[in-house]
Structure 1
Amino acid sequence: MPTTYTSADPPQSRTVPYVRLATEKDYPQLIALGTRAFAKDPMLLYVGSVQQMSSFMAQVQGHTLAPSDEGSLRIFMEFVLYSTLSKHGRITVAAVPSDLDNNEMVASATYWLPPSKLVETRQATKPRDGAASMLGAWGVGGTARMTEDYLKKVHNIIVNSFKRRGFQESEVGSSAWYLNLAMTDPALQGRGFLSMLMREQFAHAPGQTYILETTTEKAKNQYLHYGFELQETFCAGEGQIGVDGLPATHENGAGGVKAYPMIKASAKTITPCKVVLTSNCLSAVG
Protein backbone atom coordinates (compact mmCIF):
# COMPACT_ATOMS: atom_id res chain seq x y z
CA MET A 1 0.00 0.00 0.00
CA PRO A 2 1.27 3.53 -0.73
CA THR A 3 2.38 5.36 2.40
CA THR A 4 2.56 9.05 3.25
CA TYR A 5 5.85 10.03 4.85
CA THR A 6 6.56 13.23 6.71
CA SER A 7 9.56 15.41 6.03
CA ALA A 8 11.04 14.14 9.29
CA ASP A 9 11.43 10.65 7.92
CA PRO A 10 15.00 10.02 6.77
CA PRO A 11 15.35 9.14 3.05
CA GLN A 12 16.74 5.71 3.84
CA SER A 13 13.49 4.81 5.64
CA ARG A 14 11.47 5.29 2.48
CA THR A 15 10.96 1.88 0.99
CA VAL A 16 7.42 2.33 -0.35
CA PRO A 17 5.73 5.16 -2.30
CA TYR A 18 5.35 8.37 -0.31
CA VAL A 19 4.07 11.95 -0.60
CA ARG A 20 6.29 15.02 -0.30
CA LEU A 21 6.39 18.63 -1.42
CA ALA A 22 7.97 19.22 -4.80
CA THR A 23 11.33 20.94 -5.01
CA GLU A 24 13.04 22.82 -7.81
CA LYS A 25 14.92 19.72 -8.88
CA ASP A 26 11.55 18.10 -9.67
CA TYR A 27 10.47 20.73 -12.20
CA PRO A 28 11.92 19.10 -15.34
CA GLN A 29 10.42 15.77 -14.33
CA LEU A 30 7.03 17.39 -13.64
CA ILE A 31 6.98 19.06 -17.05
CA ALA A 32 7.86 15.79 -18.76
CA LEU A 33 5.27 13.92 -16.69
CA GLY A 34 2.55 16.41 -17.61
CA THR A 35 3.43 16.13 -21.29
CA ARG A 36 3.01 12.35 -21.13
CA ALA A 37 -0.07 12.36 -18.93
CA PHE A 38 -2.04 14.85 -21.04
CA ALA A 39 -0.98 13.73 -24.51
CA LYS A 40 -4.46 12.32 -25.15
CA ASP A 41 -6.49 14.80 -23.12
CA PRO A 42 -9.50 15.77 -25.26
CA MET A 43 -9.66 19.40 -24.14
CA LEU A 44 -5.99 20.06 -24.76
CA LEU A 45 -6.15 18.34 -28.13
CA TYR A 46 -8.98 20.72 -29.03
CA VAL A 47 -7.28 23.82 -27.63
CA GLY A 48 -4.02 22.92 -29.36
CA SER A 49 -5.84 22.27 -32.65
CA VAL A 50 -4.29 18.81 -32.94
CA GLN A 51 -5.41 17.25 -36.21
CA GLN A 52 -4.41 13.66 -35.58
CA MET A 53 -2.41 11.48 -33.24
CA SER A 54 1.02 10.23 -34.26
CA SER A 55 1.53 7.00 -36.17
CA PHE A 56 1.28 3.62 -34.49
CA MET A 57 5.04 3.11 -34.63
CA ALA A 58 5.69 6.55 -33.14
CA GLN A 59 3.30 5.76 -30.28
CA VAL A 60 5.10 2.47 -29.68
CA GLN A 61 8.26 4.53 -29.28
CA GLY A 62 6.55 6.75 -26.71
CA HIS A 63 5.50 9.68 -28.90
CA THR A 64 1.72 10.00 -28.82
CA LEU A 65 1.73 13.37 -30.57
CA ALA A 66 3.56 14.79 -33.55
CA PRO A 67 6.73 16.66 -32.49
CA SER A 68 5.20 20.11 -32.96
CA ASP A 69 2.06 19.22 -31.00
CA GLU A 70 4.11 17.58 -28.26
CA GLY A 71 6.26 20.69 -28.06
CA SER A 72 3.21 22.92 -27.67
CA LEU A 73 1.85 20.71 -24.90
CA ARG A 74 5.19 20.84 -23.11
CA ILE A 75 5.15 24.64 -23.27
CA PHE A 76 1.68 24.63 -21.73
CA MET A 77 2.89 22.36 -18.92
CA GLU A 78 5.72 24.80 -18.25
CA PHE A 79 3.20 27.63 -18.08
CA VAL A 80 0.94 25.79 -15.61
CA LEU A 81 3.91 24.93 -13.39
CA TYR A 82 5.38 28.42 -13.26
CA SER A 83 2.03 30.19 -12.93
CA THR A 84 1.29 27.93 -9.96
CA LEU A 85 4.65 28.76 -8.41
CA SER A 86 4.23 32.50 -8.98
CA LYS A 87 0.97 32.30 -7.00
CA HIS A 88 2.71 30.44 -4.16
CA GLY A 89 0.84 27.26 -4.96
CA ARG A 90 1.36 23.98 -3.13
CA ILE A 91 2.80 21.26 -5.37
CA THR A 92 2.88 17.75 -3.96
CA VAL A 93 4.25 14.60 -5.55
CA ALA A 94 3.85 10.89 -4.98
CA ALA A 95 7.35 9.47 -5.29
CA VAL A 96 8.39 5.88 -5.88
CA PRO A 97 11.76 4.96 -4.36
CA SER A 98 14.38 3.28 -6.50
CA ASP A 99 17.19 0.95 -5.54
CA LEU A 100 19.52 2.78 -7.91
CA ASP A 101 21.66 5.34 -6.07
CA ASN A 102 18.95 5.88 -3.45
CA ASN A 103 16.93 7.67 -6.15
CA GLU A 104 13.21 8.04 -6.80
CA MET A 105 10.68 8.60 -9.58
CA VAL A 106 7.73 11.00 -9.46
CA ALA A 107 4.65 8.93 -10.26
CA SER A 108 1.93 11.52 -9.67
CA ALA A 109 1.56 15.20 -8.78
CA THR A 110 -1.02 17.78 -7.78
CA TYR A 111 -0.78 21.56 -8.14
CA TRP A 112 -2.94 23.30 -5.53
CA LEU A 113 -3.65 27.03 -5.42
CA PRO A 114 -4.50 28.21 -1.89
CA PRO A 115 -7.31 30.62 -1.03
CA SER A 116 -6.99 34.05 -2.67
CA LYS A 117 -4.31 32.75 -5.03
CA LEU A 118 -6.33 31.57 -8.03
CA VAL A 119 -4.68 32.13 -11.40
CA GLU A 120 -6.62 34.70 -13.40
CA THR A 121 -6.68 35.00 -17.16
CA ARG A 122 -4.37 37.99 -17.04
CA GLN A 123 -1.76 35.54 -15.73
CA ALA A 124 -1.44 34.42 -19.34
CA THR A 125 0.21 37.77 -20.12
CA LYS A 126 3.04 37.42 -17.59
CA PRO A 127 6.36 36.67 -19.29
CA ARG A 128 7.88 35.09 -16.19
CA ASP A 129 5.24 32.35 -16.33
CA GLY A 130 5.99 31.52 -19.95
CA ALA A 131 3.00 33.33 -21.44
CA ALA A 132 4.83 34.48 -24.56
CA SER A 133 5.94 30.94 -25.39
CA MET A 134 2.44 29.61 -24.79
CA LEU A 135 0.91 32.22 -27.08
CA GLY A 136 3.48 31.33 -29.71
CA ALA A 137 2.66 27.64 -29.41
CA TRP A 138 -1.14 27.91 -29.38
CA GLY A 139 -1.61 31.17 -31.22
CA VAL A 140 -4.46 33.58 -30.63
CA GLY A 141 -6.99 30.95 -31.69
CA GLY A 142 -5.83 28.34 -29.21
CA THR A 143 -5.70 30.85 -26.38
CA ALA A 144 -9.22 31.98 -27.23
CA ARG A 145 -10.44 28.39 -27.24
CA MET A 146 -9.04 27.90 -23.75
CA THR A 147 -10.40 31.13 -22.30
CA GLU A 148 -13.64 31.76 -24.18
CA ASP A 149 -14.87 28.28 -25.05
CA TYR A 150 -13.76 26.53 -21.88
CA LEU A 151 -12.71 28.60 -18.86
CA LYS A 152 -15.46 31.21 -19.06
CA LYS A 153 -18.07 28.46 -19.10
CA VAL A 154 -16.46 26.85 -16.07
CA HIS A 155 -16.36 30.23 -14.35
CA ASN A 156 -20.05 30.88 -14.91
CA ILE A 157 -21.11 27.43 -13.71
CA ILE A 158 -19.10 27.69 -10.48
CA VAL A 159 -20.32 31.22 -9.77
CA ASN A 160 -23.94 30.21 -10.37
CA SER A 161 -23.46 27.25 -8.06
CA PHE A 162 -22.42 29.55 -5.24
CA LYS A 163 -25.29 31.92 -6.01
CA ARG A 164 -27.76 29.06 -5.66
CA ARG A 165 -26.36 28.57 -2.16
CA GLY A 166 -27.25 32.14 -1.27
CA PHE A 167 -24.00 33.93 -2.07
CA GLN A 168 -23.38 36.80 -4.45
CA GLU A 169 -20.34 37.04 -6.68
CA SER A 170 -19.47 40.32 -4.96
CA GLU A 171 -19.43 38.50 -1.62
CA VAL A 172 -16.91 35.91 -2.58
CA GLY A 173 -14.39 35.20 0.14
CA SER A 174 -11.06 33.50 0.26
CA SER A 175 -11.33 30.01 1.73
CA ALA A 176 -11.40 27.71 -1.30
CA TRP A 177 -8.51 25.68 -2.66
CA TYR A 178 -8.29 25.20 -6.41
CA LEU A 179 -6.83 22.11 -8.05
CA ASN A 180 -4.87 23.63 -10.90
CA LEU A 181 -3.48 20.34 -12.18
CA ALA A 182 -3.51 16.66 -11.26
CA MET A 183 -1.60 14.00 -13.14
CA THR A 184 -0.29 10.46 -12.93
CA ASP A 185 2.23 8.79 -15.20
CA PRO A 186 0.18 6.77 -17.75
CA ALA A 187 2.30 3.69 -17.01
CA LEU A 188 1.52 3.93 -13.29
CA GLN A 189 -2.21 4.67 -13.23
CA GLY A 190 -4.51 2.57 -11.09
CA ARG A 191 -2.05 2.17 -8.21
CA GLY A 192 -3.55 4.70 -5.81
CA PHE A 193 -1.03 7.51 -6.23
CA LEU A 194 -3.61 10.24 -6.83
CA SER A 195 -5.60 9.01 -3.83
CA MET A 196 -2.46 9.44 -1.72
CA LEU A 197 -2.11 13.03 -2.86
CA MET A 198 -5.77 13.90 -2.32
CA ARG A 199 -5.79 12.44 1.19
CA GLU A 200 -2.63 14.34 2.05
CA GLN A 201 -4.13 17.63 0.85
CA PHE A 202 -7.38 17.11 2.75
CA ALA A 203 -5.33 16.40 5.89
CA HIS A 204 -3.22 19.51 5.24
CA ALA A 205 -6.28 21.78 4.96
CA PRO A 206 -9.18 19.93 6.60
CA GLY A 207 -12.72 21.22 6.40
CA GLN A 208 -11.96 23.52 3.47
CA THR A 209 -13.89 24.05 0.26
CA TYR A 210 -12.23 22.75 -2.90
CA ILE A 211 -12.88 23.57 -6.56
CA LEU A 212 -11.82 21.82 -9.73
CA GLU A 213 -12.90 20.97 -13.23
CA THR A 214 -11.97 17.95 -15.25
CA THR A 215 -12.57 16.75 -18.79
CA THR A 216 -12.82 12.98 -18.66
CA GLU A 217 -15.48 10.63 -17.36
CA LYS A 218 -12.84 8.57 -15.57
CA ALA A 219 -11.47 11.56 -13.65
CA LYS A 220 -14.97 12.82 -12.86
CA ASN A 221 -15.91 9.50 -11.28
CA GLN A 222 -12.72 9.45 -9.26
CA TYR A 223 -13.36 12.93 -7.87
CA LEU A 224 -16.90 11.93 -6.96
CA HIS A 225 -15.29 9.22 -4.84
CA TYR A 226 -13.23 11.91 -3.07
CA GLY A 227 -16.38 13.79 -2.09
CA PHE A 228 -16.65 16.32 -4.91
CA GLU A 229 -20.07 17.12 -6.34
CA LEU A 230 -20.68 17.63 -10.04
CA GLN A 231 -22.27 21.03 -10.74
CA GLU A 232 -23.15 20.97 -14.43
CA THR A 233 -21.60 19.69 -17.62
CA PHE A 234 -21.02 21.47 -20.89
CA CYS A 235 -19.29 20.79 -24.19
CA ALA A 236 -16.58 22.85 -25.85
CA GLY A 237 -16.05 22.77 -29.59
CA GLU A 238 -19.49 21.46 -30.49
CA GLY A 239 -19.89 21.04 -34.22
CA GLN A 240 -16.13 21.12 -34.75
CA ILE A 241 -14.61 18.21 -32.86
CA GLY A 242 -15.51 14.79 -31.53
CA VAL A 243 -15.49 13.58 -27.95
CA ASP A 244 -11.81 12.70 -28.34
CA GLY A 245 -10.83 16.33 -29.05
CA LEU A 246 -9.87 15.65 -32.66
CA PRO A 247 -11.58 17.09 -35.75
CA ALA A 248 -15.07 15.69 -36.26
CA THR A 249 -15.42 12.57 -38.36
CA HIS A 250 -18.16 10.08 -39.06
CA GLU A 251 -16.69 7.83 -36.37
CA ASN A 252 -16.23 10.28 -33.50
CA GLY A 253 -19.11 12.65 -34.27
CA ALA A 254 -19.09 16.39 -33.61
CA GLY A 255 -20.44 16.61 -30.09
CA GLY A 256 -17.42 18.40 -28.67
CA VAL A 257 -15.45 17.76 -25.49
CA LYS A 258 -17.37 17.47 -22.24
CA ALA A 259 -16.20 19.30 -19.10
CA TYR A 260 -17.18 18.69 -15.47
CA PRO A 261 -16.92 21.58 -12.96
CA MET A 262 -16.95 20.17 -9.41
CA ILE A 263 -17.00 21.41 -5.81
CA LYS A 264 -16.13 19.71 -2.53
CA ALA A 265 -17.87 21.83 0.10
CA SER A 266 -16.74 22.29 3.66
CA ALA A 267 -18.35 19.79 6.01
CA LYS A 268 -19.86 22.65 8.01
CA THR A 269 -20.82 25.17 5.38
CA ILE A 270 -19.77 26.59 2.04
CA THR A 271 -17.68 29.67 2.52
CA PRO A 272 -17.94 31.70 -0.66
CA CYS A 273 -14.76 31.93 -2.65
CA LYS A 274 -13.65 34.18 -5.43
CA VAL A 275 -14.11 32.23 -8.61
CA VAL A 276 -12.04 33.66 -11.45
CA LEU A 277 -10.86 32.39 -14.78
CA THR A 278 -8.07 29.98 -14.06
CA SER A 279 -5.20 28.66 -16.11
CA ASN A 280 -6.57 25.14 -16.29
CA CYS A 281 -7.52 22.23 -14.13
CA LEU A 282 -7.28 19.03 -16.03
CA SER A 283 -6.77 15.64 -14.55
CA ALA A 284 -4.91 12.67 -15.84
CA VAL A 285 -5.83 10.36 -13.02
CA GLY A 286 -4.22 7.32 -11.51
Structure 2
Amino acid sequence: MGDIGVRFVEKRDVAELSQVLARAFFDDPVMVWMIPDETRRVRALERMFGAMTRHHFVGGGGAEVAADAGGAGRIGAASLWDPPGRWKQTPREELRMMPSLIRALGRHARRGMTMGEVMKKHHPEEPHWYLGVIGSDPDVRGKGFGNALMRSRLDRCDAEGAPAYLESSKESNVPYYMRFGFEVTAELTVPDGGPTMWQMWRNPG
Protein backbone atom coordinates (compact mmCIF):
# COMPACT_ATOMS: atom_id res chain seq x y z
CA MET A 1 0.00 0.00 0.00
CA GLY A 2 1.34 3.43 -0.97
CA ASP A 3 1.20 6.67 0.94
CA ILE A 4 -2.22 7.88 2.06
CA GLY A 5 -3.46 11.07 0.50
CA VAL A 6 -6.54 13.15 1.32
CA ARG A 7 -8.52 14.94 -1.37
CA PHE A 8 -11.94 16.48 -1.88
CA VAL A 9 -14.72 14.25 -3.16
CA GLU A 10 -15.68 14.54 -6.81
CA LYS A 11 -18.88 13.23 -8.37
CA ARG A 12 -16.97 10.35 -9.93
CA ASP A 13 -16.07 9.16 -6.40
CA VAL A 14 -19.65 8.83 -5.16
CA ALA A 15 -20.19 5.16 -6.09
CA GLU A 16 -16.92 3.93 -4.54
CA LEU A 17 -17.31 6.20 -1.52
CA SER A 18 -20.82 4.85 -0.92
CA GLN A 19 -19.57 1.26 -1.02
CA VAL A 20 -16.81 2.05 1.48
CA LEU A 21 -19.20 3.75 3.91
CA ALA A 22 -21.77 0.95 3.53
CA ARG A 23 -19.18 -1.60 4.62
CA ALA A 24 -17.95 0.68 7.40
CA PHE A 25 -21.44 1.16 8.87
CA PHE A 26 -22.81 -2.35 8.39
CA ASP A 27 -22.76 -3.10 12.15
CA ASP A 28 -23.34 0.47 13.33
CA PRO A 29 -26.11 0.53 15.98
CA VAL A 30 -27.97 3.39 14.29
CA MET A 31 -27.92 1.69 10.90
CA VAL A 32 -28.87 -1.68 12.37
CA TRP A 33 -31.88 -0.04 14.01
CA MET A 34 -32.94 1.78 10.84
CA ILE A 35 -32.23 -1.17 8.50
CA PRO A 36 -32.60 -4.35 10.59
CA ASP A 37 -32.61 -6.72 7.60
CA GLU A 38 -28.98 -7.79 7.15
CA THR A 39 -29.62 -9.17 3.67
CA ARG A 40 -30.47 -5.74 2.27
CA ARG A 41 -28.49 -3.45 4.57
CA VAL A 42 -25.36 -3.03 2.43
CA ARG A 43 -27.30 -2.10 -0.70
CA ALA A 44 -29.58 0.18 1.32
CA LEU A 45 -26.62 1.96 2.91
CA GLU A 46 -24.95 2.42 -0.48
CA ARG A 47 -28.12 4.06 -1.75
CA MET A 48 -28.44 6.26 1.35
CA PHE A 49 -24.83 7.46 1.46
CA GLY A 50 -24.88 8.00 -2.29
CA ALA A 51 -27.92 10.26 -2.07
CA MET A 52 -26.54 12.23 0.88
CA THR A 53 -23.17 12.76 -0.79
CA ARG A 54 -24.46 13.55 -4.27
CA HIS A 55 -27.24 15.92 -3.26
CA HIS A 56 -25.84 17.60 -0.13
CA PHE A 57 -22.21 17.07 0.82
CA VAL A 58 -20.39 17.39 -2.52
CA GLY A 59 -21.72 20.89 -3.03
CA GLY A 60 -20.69 22.01 0.45
CA GLY A 61 -16.97 21.51 0.03
CA GLY A 62 -16.57 19.43 3.17
CA ALA A 63 -16.54 15.89 1.76
CA GLU A 64 -13.12 14.21 1.61
CA VAL A 65 -11.69 10.78 0.88
CA ALA A 66 -8.44 9.18 1.98
CA ALA A 67 -6.90 6.96 -0.68
CA ASP A 68 -3.65 5.07 -1.07
CA ALA A 69 -0.99 5.94 -3.64
CA GLY A 70 -0.99 9.49 -2.34
CA GLY A 71 -4.70 9.97 -2.92
CA ALA A 72 -4.91 8.62 -6.46
CA GLY A 73 -5.64 4.98 -5.68
CA ARG A 74 -8.30 2.97 -3.91
CA ILE A 75 -10.49 4.87 -1.44
CA GLY A 76 -9.97 3.56 2.07
CA ALA A 77 -12.10 5.99 4.06
CA ALA A 78 -14.42 8.95 3.64
CA SER A 79 -15.60 11.84 5.77
CA LEU A 80 -18.64 14.04 5.15
CA TRP A 81 -18.38 17.42 6.86
CA ASP A 82 -20.66 20.45 6.76
CA PRO A 83 -19.06 23.91 6.95
CA PRO A 84 -20.31 26.36 9.59
CA GLY A 85 -23.91 27.34 9.00
CA ARG A 86 -24.58 24.61 6.43
CA TRP A 87 -25.51 21.51 8.44
CA LYS A 88 -29.22 21.82 7.67
CA GLN A 89 -30.28 20.31 4.38
CA THR A 90 -32.18 22.71 2.15
CA PRO A 91 -35.75 21.84 1.10
CA ARG A 92 -34.44 21.23 -2.43
CA GLU A 93 -31.74 18.87 -1.17
CA GLU A 94 -34.27 16.95 0.94
CA LEU A 95 -36.61 16.66 -2.03
CA ARG A 96 -33.85 15.30 -4.26
CA MET A 97 -32.69 12.79 -1.64
CA MET A 98 -36.13 11.60 -0.58
CA PRO A 99 -36.75 8.89 -3.22
CA SER A 100 -33.41 7.19 -2.53
CA LEU A 101 -33.85 7.39 1.24
CA ILE A 102 -37.35 5.93 1.09
CA ARG A 103 -36.10 3.07 -1.08
CA ALA A 104 -33.16 2.50 1.27
CA LEU A 105 -35.18 2.43 4.50
CA GLY A 106 -38.28 0.75 3.11
CA ARG A 107 -40.92 0.07 5.73
CA HIS A 108 -38.64 1.54 8.42
CA ALA A 109 -38.57 5.00 6.83
CA ARG A 110 -40.29 6.40 9.92
CA ARG A 111 -37.26 5.42 11.99
CA GLY A 112 -35.04 7.46 9.73
CA MET A 113 -37.32 10.46 10.18
CA THR A 114 -37.30 10.01 13.96
CA MET A 115 -33.51 9.84 13.98
CA GLY A 116 -33.24 13.02 11.94
CA GLU A 117 -35.70 14.86 14.16
CA VAL A 118 -33.80 13.98 17.34
CA MET A 119 -30.46 15.04 15.86
CA LYS A 120 -31.84 18.35 14.56
CA LYS A 121 -33.54 19.16 17.87
CA HIS A 122 -30.32 18.83 19.85
CA HIS A 123 -27.86 20.22 17.30
CA PRO A 124 -25.68 23.06 18.69
CA GLU A 125 -26.51 26.56 17.50
CA GLU A 126 -23.00 28.00 17.72
CA PRO A 127 -21.27 28.06 14.29
CA HIS A 128 -19.06 24.98 13.81
CA TRP A 129 -17.80 22.36 11.39
CA TYR A 130 -20.10 19.34 11.63
CA LEU A 131 -18.78 15.83 11.03
CA GLY A 132 -21.88 14.06 9.76
CA VAL A 133 -20.18 10.82 8.69
CA ILE A 134 -16.73 9.26 8.83
CA GLY A 135 -15.92 5.64 8.10
CA SER A 136 -13.10 3.37 6.98
CA ASP A 137 -13.38 0.21 4.93
CA PRO A 138 -13.00 -2.72 7.37
CA ASP A 139 -10.21 -4.07 5.13
CA VAL A 140 -7.96 -1.09 5.94
CA ARG A 141 -9.18 -0.15 9.41
CA GLY A 142 -6.34 0.77 11.72
CA LYS A 143 -3.98 1.71 8.89
CA GLY A 144 -4.28 5.46 9.22
CA PHE A 145 -6.96 6.36 6.67
CA GLY A 146 -9.42 7.73 9.22
CA ASN A 147 -6.64 9.51 11.07
CA ALA A 148 -5.58 11.26 7.86
CA LEU A 149 -9.14 12.49 7.29
CA MET A 150 -9.58 13.73 10.85
CA ARG A 151 -6.28 15.59 10.82
CA SER A 152 -7.01 17.17 7.45
CA ARG A 153 -10.25 18.80 8.57
CA LEU A 154 -9.30 19.53 12.17
CA ASP A 155 -6.15 21.31 11.05
CA ARG A 156 -8.43 23.57 9.02
CA CYS A 157 -10.71 24.06 12.04
CA ASP A 158 -7.72 25.15 14.10
CA ALA A 159 -6.51 27.49 11.35
CA GLU A 160 -9.95 29.08 11.16
CA GLY A 161 -10.45 29.14 14.92
CA ALA A 162 -13.63 27.10 14.43
CA PRO A 163 -15.08 24.45 16.76
CA ALA A 164 -16.18 21.03 15.53
CA TYR A 165 -19.11 18.80 16.45
CA LEU A 166 -20.15 15.19 15.88
CA GLU A 167 -22.45 12.47 17.21
CA SER A 168 -20.80 9.13 17.92
CA SER A 169 -23.17 6.24 17.30
CA LYS A 170 -20.85 3.78 19.06
CA GLU A 171 -19.71 4.20 22.64
CA SER A 172 -16.52 2.32 21.74
CA ASN A 173 -15.59 5.11 19.31
CA VAL A 174 -15.81 7.85 21.94
CA PRO A 175 -12.17 7.40 23.13
CA TYR A 176 -11.02 7.59 19.50
CA TYR A 177 -12.62 10.99 19.04
CA MET A 178 -11.34 12.15 22.40
CA ARG A 179 -7.79 11.63 21.14
CA PHE A 180 -8.51 14.38 18.60
CA GLY A 181 -9.71 16.79 21.28
CA PHE A 182 -13.46 16.07 21.27
CA GLU A 183 -15.33 15.91 24.58
CA VAL A 184 -18.71 14.34 25.33
CA THR A 185 -21.33 17.00 26.04
CA ALA A 186 -24.50 14.89 26.25
CA GLU A 187 -26.13 11.58 25.36
CA LEU A 188 -29.07 11.30 22.98
CA THR A 189 -31.43 8.33 23.22
CA VAL A 190 -33.69 7.85 20.24
CA PRO A 191 -37.30 6.98 21.19
CA ASP A 192 -39.16 3.82 20.17
CA GLY A 193 -36.33 1.52 21.15
CA GLY A 194 -33.72 3.47 19.23
CA PRO A 195 -29.99 3.62 19.96
CA THR A 196 -28.00 6.04 22.09
CA MET A 197 -25.65 8.59 20.53
CA TRP A 198 -22.92 10.63 22.18
CA GLN A 199 -22.76 14.32 21.33
CA MET A 200 -19.13 15.49 21.14
CA TRP A 201 -17.68 18.98 20.82
CA ARG A 202 -14.16 20.18 20.06
CA ASN A 203 -12.85 23.68 20.63
CA PRO A 204 -10.14 24.84 18.21
CA GLY A 205 -6.58 24.19 19.31
In 2, the alpha carbon distance for the partners of 1:123 and 1:223 equals: 32
8 Å contact from structure 1 (residues 178, 211) kept in 2: yes
Aligned to 1:152: 117
2:57 alignment partner in structure 1: 85
Amino acid in the other structure paired with 1:147:
M
Question: What is aligned with 1:214?
Answer: 168
1:138 alignment partner in structure 2: 105
CA distance in 2, matches of 1:39, 1:151: 19
Query: Residue 126 of structure 1: SS of its match in structure 2?
Result: helix
- Output aligned runs, 1:221-236, within 5 Å: 221-236=175-190
Residues 154-174 of structure 1: per-residue CA shift (max 9 Å, x gap): 344444xxxxxxxxxxxx45x
**1:133 shift after superposition:** 2.2
Q: How big is each residue's C-alpha offset from its partner over 1:112-134, in whole Å with a ceiling of 9 and x where there is no partner?
A: 1111211338467422xx32121
Q: Structure 1 length normalisation: TM-score? A: 0.63
1:114 and 2:83 equivalent?
yes
CA distance in 2 between counterparts of 1:157 and 1:237 reads: 14
Map residues 1-286 of structure 1 onto 2, 5 A cutoff. 15-48=2-35, 50-51=36-37, 65-66=38-39, 68-85=40-57, 87-97=59-69, 104-120=73-89, 122=91, 125-127=94-96, 130-139=97-106, 142-148=108-114, 150-159=115-124, 172=125, 175-206=127-158, 207-236=161-190, 240=193, 256-267=194-205
Give the drift of 1:147: 3.0
Larger radius of gyration: 1
Deviating beyond 4 angstroms after TM superposition, the runs of 4 or more aligned structure 1 residues are 121-124
For 2:31 and 2:108, how far apart are their aligned partners in 1? 9
In structure 1, what is the Cα distance between the partners aligned to 2:116 and 2:94?
Answer: 16
- What is the rounded CA distance, in whole Å, between the counterparts of 2:121 and 2:136 in structure 1? 28
**TM-score, with normalisation over the residues of structure 2?**
0.85
How many Å separate the matches in 1 of 2:88 and 2:59? Answer: 7
Distance change >3 Å, CA 231–CA 122, structure 1 → 2: farther
What residue is the counterpart of 1:243 in the other structure?
Answer: none
Provide the aligned C-alpha RMSD in A.
2.7
Moved more, 107-116 or 70-79: 70-79
CA distance in 1, matches of 2:146, 2:187: 23
Unaligned runs of 5+ in 2: none
Q: Equivalents in 1 of 2:143, 2:104: separation in Å? A: 33
**1:193 is aligned with what amino acid?**
F
